[in-house]
């Protein structure tokens, strides 16, 4: 369920979560049947909870692109300083 703005971004940029509609996310699966969503979400919460208990240090940012074969590759990596 995309908003009108997100549909516009999808059409213009090829991705709905850009500009102010951006939200951090990690794609972990393909489409999940509605009947399975609750189980998968709970499994992810259980798995990631210990990892999210403490702050994470982020040392660099990477710009990643998707190749025509669907695989991702790092285009550039920038170290954070400060």
Residue 23 has a pLDDT of 82
Contact 63, 75 (CB under 8 A): yes
Residue 62 has a pLDDT of 95
Domain holding 69, by residue range, is 4-79
pTM of the model as a whole = 0.49
Q: Helices H, strands E: what count in the chain?
A: 2, 2
Residue 18 has a pLDDT of 93
Q: Which pLDDT tens digit goes with each residue over 35-72?
A: 999 999 999 999 999 988 888 888 999 999 999 998 99
What is the number of domains present in the chain? 1
CA distances from 7 to 12, 20, 23, 34 (A): 9, 13, 15, 22
């Amino acid at each position: 369920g995309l908003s009108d703005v997100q549909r516009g971004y999808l059409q213009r940029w090829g991705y709905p979560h850009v500009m102010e509609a951006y939200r951090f996310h990690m794609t972990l699966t393909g489409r999940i049947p509605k009947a399975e969503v609750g189980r998968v979400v709970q499994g992810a919460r259980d798995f990631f909870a210990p990892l999210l208990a403490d702050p994470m240090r982020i040392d660099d940012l990477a710009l990643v692109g998707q190749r025509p074969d669907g695989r991702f590759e790092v285009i550039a990596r920038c170290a954070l300083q400060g």
